A = this chain, B = another copy of it.
Amino acid sequence: MTGPERLSASRARQLDAADPLTTCRERFVITDPDLIYLDGNSLGRLPRATQDLLADVIGRQWGERLVRSWGEGWFEAANRIGGKIGRLLGAGGDEIILADSTSVNLFKLVSAALAARPGRHTILTDDLNFPSDLYILQGIARHAGDEYRIRVVPSADGIHGPAEALRAALDEDTALVTLSHTVFKSGYTYDMAAVTEAAHRAGALTVWDLSHSAGSVPVELDGAAADLAVGCTYKYLNGGPGAPAFLYVRRDLQAALTNPISGWIGQREPFDFAPNYTPAEGIQHFLSGTPPILSLAAVEPGVDLVLEVGMERLRERSNRLSEYFIELWKARLAPLGFQLKSPSDPARRGSHVALGHDDAWRINLALIHDMKVLPDFRRPDNIRLGIAPLYNTFTDLYHAVERMREVVVSRHYERYDGAGAKVT
């Protein structure tokens, strides 16, 4: 196949036709087939099965069964769905549970980990981590007075995680290492087993944020001997806006760690209404308050779909889509000033690709408002293209690239000013 043929729309259609997973797209509610949605790493699409399930949860479970539904599935939902996510992430069904938000779970696990490493005062992280995760660490440190120091190891290029520098920074004062497994901007993905092993050699615990990894890259929590992890369910797991997050505590650590937010759902016998808290056994005592059932129930069909397809096949498709996109970028976008801001090695890259451009902000506005392309923008100059292998297609990526070209070649983006207003 010649260069121009490889870059044609018909080639994209051929690639879609040849892949049996292309039909997974039909499992989602898609009201506008012309919209190219590349923000599934921020909010995943609505699975059809979720819409059906929610009608039942609302109308029958809440409306008709009322409070009886707590005994008919609601109470065990956090464990049941957590167990399924465990299968995706290489963890036991008794090691993951759904609860709260990623931020609250990170607060709980980092607090618990610090308490389990008395005499150590350093929290190690990198500058590619979610700012939100850094904020939680700062809140914990501030609340504890001067006891803890947060050491933020910088990335050399803003793309690749500073794995070597982190290893070198580990010492006998390191209480824990906490990182985004797949970082939110560039999509760089750490070697979880290698970092964990180094942390353990130094006597430190690890807390992984899997928000951009769950449902997009294979993870083996138990295999990597990871200690603790958190992550959200509304990106590649398609659990719905702000859906409850998950938390992982390795089985042998569960009894030793204490949840600072010790609420009634984590109590051994919640319906005894005893005056003193006795933690439930296992993962259960990391729960705090009553879970938001509508949002919690919505998580399950998306997880089921990933399990049905299988993480390996999804990852393989994600890599083929991403490599195809990078091939298009090189031929069609690089000449227009777009730079690749993600690792070129697929083994170290999650399921999104970031492109930089001097006019990224205005290009992004033009794409959203006038070109029916929905990417994501991260300041100052980063257009992030989430490639969700369950519903994005080669044809999606082909047209996204052509529309990005059009916005730049025609100088269409100049219709917007830096504040986001249309100026012409």
Contacts and interface: CB of A to CB of B under 8 A. Distances in A.
Contact of A379 (B135, B244, B262, B273): B273
Given A103-B288, A152-B275, A267 B142 contact: no
Contacts of A368: 68
A65 B107 CA distance: 32
A374 B262 contact: no
Interface string A246-288: 0000000000001111111101000111111100000000001
Nearest to A65: B31
A93 interface: no
Contacts of A69: 241
B59 A43 contact: no
A289 B111 contact: no
B63 A43 contact: no
A410 to B, nearest CB: 24
A55 B52 CA distance: 11
B289 A102 contact: yes
Given A101-B290, A139-B259, A294-B240, A59 B51 contact: yes
Contacts of A39: 66-67
A32 interface: yes
Interface stretch (A8-16, A126-134, A192-200, A303-311): A126-134
A136 B262 contact: yes
Given A58-B46, A67-B43, A290 B102 contact: yes
